[in-house]
Amino acid sequence: MMKRVSLLITVPVNPRPVAPMEGLIGGPRYTRLRAEADEFRRGLGGRCIWNINSTATGGGVAEMLQALVGYVCDLDVPVRWTVIGGDPDFFAITKRLHNRIHGTAGDGGPLGAAEAEHYAGVLAANAGELLGEIRPGDLVLLHDPQTAGLAAPLVAAGATVVWRCHIGVDWEDDTTRAAWEFLRPYLTAAHGHVFSRSKYVPSWVPAGAASIIPPSIDPFAPKNQELDRDTVRAILATIGVLDGGTPTKPGRYVRGDGTAGEVTGTATVVGERLPGPDDPVVVQVSRWDRLKDMAGVLRGFADHVAPAGPGYLMLVGPEVAEVSDDPEGAAVYAECVAQWRELPAAVRARALLVTLPLDDVDENAAMVNAVQRHAAVIAQKSLAEGFGLTVAEGMWKRRPLVASAVGGIQDQVVDGTGILLADPGDLGAFGAAVRGLLDDPDRADRMGRAAHSHVHETFLGDRHLLRYAELFGKLLSRTGSR
């Protein structure tokens, strides 16, 4: 008899030391975090917190979980992280939902009875496996549309279930309503719902049933830890995006588990010429997703930035074959490559399309860190954005931002920390903002320093963990599990 293959993948949870955070956030914030964790642990009474999503790598949710789950583990709170499985049709449906919740048609495919049946069937199979592990009273945090269909069976089994939605837009129309109506039957059983912004909460969610918890960054993670200039240049030369000969020192960094790491892998680069160490570079880092509008950034640079002065562009994303829950990535990347090939030769020589390997998550993060720290300007010209942690990550590195005034980006880029574009489709305005910062390094530096301070105060992990402790504490009291 053939051995049954599990749909679920257990992601190893490695403790991430909380103690170093004290020197960064200060004594009062750190003391409060430890005290709240102790109180929460006592109230939990041995129950476990589960995080369930659809991928362990290749997106902001996975990166955030790597940090937060690690901190929770170090605080001696029982926690687990599990990734669900599905077939290509399932992920095509959930990508359709992702796009439509953002107000775009995506592939234009249906979300009818057949899709609902397939979606429910895949999640029923996952739930069947989960019910063998999750105990009555456990706290379960489900992430995004891929997991919504797990809520009812887990609640029926006695778990306290919260659905966390990382995406959304500030309006409702027929497109968004169709996506929410698809998901609504699966979510009514959940004990709570979490959104990044109040405007993302669908009108059918009962008053008081939604909590607003913005995401956070981990300042000590390989993606955000401090790197000196020589290390940055060594990493960029190693991965093949900077012209400078053989690196003079290793591109070393600290891994998430505290051990030493060194960047040895290389990127796949579509380009004809590499920038030198002192050439200004405009960078956008994101998944190859149409809503990130990499193609628009490329057009804006070609038409409105490159003709007016020096500078290079790097569009940086993951290797498309390594992001399992995003079936559109390869197509979007191919479209960008085709567009790059059609650029005038002089502009094409100053634009690079870069894909970074994901086989080593920490090394990938260190590569992104170096790319962002080397940037003169960081762009995030998304057409829609649930939150967009690449914005906070760039701000943390003291870089000025040119970003679209959409979704959670508006909560990150405040006065003096960057430039918000009222219309993401206005390529002239995008180009003028980028060119202005490239031509005024002093203004760019002031913005970068203000951006770092804003992230320090608002978007670090201690704030995030305290909000979840408050939410789960209320739910445990309400359900009588405490």
pLDDT for 109: 94
Q: What is the mean pLDDT of residues 324-344?
A: 89
2-52: pLDDT as tens digits? 345 589 999 998 899 999 999 999 999 999 999 999 999 999 999 999 999
Amino acid identity of residue 383, one-letter, is L
- Residues whose CB is less than 8 angstroms from the CB of residue 346 and which lie 6 or more positions away in sequence, other chains included: 306
**Distance, CA of 58 to chain centre:** 8
pLDDT for 1: 34
193-246: pLDDT as tens digits? 999 999 999 989 987 889 999 999 999 999 999 999 999 999 999 999 999 777
Reply yes or no on whether the pLDDT at 249 is more than 90. no
**What CATH number matches the domain at 229-458, 3.40.50.2000, 3.40.50.970, 3.90.1150.10, 3.40.50.1980?**
3.40.50.2000
pTM over 0.75: yes
**Cβ pair 270, 279 in contact under 8 A:** no
Amino acid identity of residue 442, one-letter, is D
Is residue 446 exposed (0-12), middle (13-18) or buried (19+ Cβ within 10 Å)?
middle
168 vs 315: CA distance, rounded Å: 24
pLDDT for 165: 96
For 193, list phi and psi in degrees, rounded to 5: -130, 140
Confidence band (pLDDT; 50, 70, 90) for 481? low
% pLDDT > 70, the chain: 97
Reply yes or no on whether the pLDDT at 287 is more than 50. yes
pLDDT for 34: 97
Amino acid identity of residue 317, one-letter, is G
pLDDT for 3: 42
Residues in the chain: 482
pLDDT for 482: 47
Mean pLDDT across the chain = 93
Q: What is the CATH number assigned to the segment(s) 9-216+460-478?
A: 3.40.50.2000
pLDDT for 148: 98
Reply yes or no on whether the pLDDT at 83 is more than 50. yes
Q: What is the mean pLDDT of residues 411-431?
A: 96
| For the chain, domain boundaries | 9-216+460-478, 229-458
